[in-house]
Structure 1
Amino acid sequence: MAITRYNQHPDTFLTMTANRNWPEITSALLPHQKTIDRPDLIARVFELKRKCLMKEIETNKVFDKIRICAQVDKLVCAELPDPKNDPTFFETVKCCMVHGPCGARNPQAPCMENGRCTKKYPRAFAESTTMDQDGYQIYRRRNSGQVYTVRGQEVDNRDMVPYNAYLSKRFNCT
């Protein structure tokens, strides 16, 4: 279950995906029930979170018009957070915001076509955020030297899908 809201550029959007481990869901389960047994509950909680997300965006003006690259870094992150500083947030991002793995690590991944990832992962490391000639952001993905195991494969910042840290923490989802 996800909601997508398009921002200024037609290829820039915000997606929110339900988290089956939200306490509002898990605390309402009967003994021996699993979240998969309660799609009604997941849908109801997701709708409440969606309304809250829209209020954050529209009323509290979470996003501003991006004019320079420094503003991008305040709103969008394409790096794994430090697991020591916030282990819960790290696990959320590691679980939900890593692309693939694909390429040589998993040639059968759904994003693969003619031996290449259709989403252009893994991306190149970049020390700072820049914009290409068409106005698309090339997000900062520093080479921290940190490698983590996700779905049985080693990943680093080149595999990260961009996300908004504030909203990911606020809603415990991505």
Structure 2
Amino acid sequence: MRLWSSADADSRHFRESIRFFNGHFAFTTLGVSLDNNYTNMKSGVYTFRAHGTMYHRVHSFGPRSRPEHLQLYFYDDDPSLSHRKEATKQLDQHVVRKLVDVLRENPYSQQFRSLGAHKENLEEYRIDLNIDQKLDQRRYNRPVSSEVAAIWVEGSDLANRFNRSITLYGDNNEKYKGNSRLRVSIRDYYCYRLQTRPMIFNPILQGARLFQQWGVDMFIKIEGCRLKWIRDHQREIRADLYQGLVGSIAVGEMRASAIGKRIVLPGTHQGSNRDMKRRHMDAMALVQTSGKPDIFLTMTCNPSWEEILNELLPGQTPQDRPDLVARVFRAKLETMKEMLFKKHILGVVVAHVYVVEFQKRGLPHAHFLLIMNSNYKLVVPEQYDRVISAELPDRHKYPELYAMVVKHMMHDPCGNLNPKNIH
């Protein structure tokens, strides 16, 4: 907890290099195609953007030219930690040793260290990691050694295999996964993990850049599960109506090898072709029935909102808490909608459409198209001037508004006059 939340030198180094520490001490290897334009920036806002699939690979634990990840735990009884030093030259070895000492209490780490004596012929063994039914994974209680089955199994007899287990072999990379039961949705579970609870330490929210990696990883997992369900239930969404040999020929496809099985995404899957088409047609229907939009309004997120800054943990910046930024923006968006559609601050709105987008830097913004009641449509310049202002408010008549415009709407000199300008 000290490394996650304190302000001393060790803790700062740990958090600044947290993705490297996590990658080194993880039992698995992270596989991901990163957008390096935003991940490895020397300045600006750090953003973890992944292209395609993220995966976590469990290697075999047999001898390799250089041990890494799970294999390193077999050597942690070495007082010099020479193998870990070789793999962490860019990290503070004092912090590395502290983490090794902390992980000595991990029951899986204890088992691997106790089995390190067999490292000369590891390829002849395999490990079964039992997923014990007695563990309450919803609470993430710490398992004790007696509840964790990590055992050596000699020979090829499968009689003693657990029904639900992960098996690691010494001479290949096979992985066995048993049946599992789903009690809550993946999305609900990770939403639960993201909540802030008084007096309960949540390391996820302290993870800074690792928090972004975790969030992207979990979203890809959620989206992957949704797509898998759609692939496995094509009959229920009547996908056969959208494909077939006749349809392929109708679009000009004459090569039999190019005609495959098509997976159809339903209109309920956000971002699919049918979903985007439906949204477009709904927006056009509003124009057809209520007329052309009168006001184009944009609402942007300000990372300096006091609702965000007041909830940051010590040492954090808004980019470290994308969950907090999104929640505050959503709350203010709902307030904006109430002001527009119930309090009628711009007049009576008869129809509207809006979309929420996220910038490449992670901050959200919303675009509104408002169709006003005929009595509130803007038709003369004087009416536009009551809604839109492109000049500084009177400093003496509207001091608060003047201060806000100067702070948020004006750009300071840059270039040679102000090379460090960040507005």
TM-score range, shorter chain: 0.3 to 0.5
Instruction: Please give the TM-score of this superposition, normalised by the length of structure 2.
Output: 0.21
Q: Which has the larger radius of gyration?
A: 2
- Structure number with the bigger relative contact order (C-alpha 8 A, sep ≥ 6) is 1
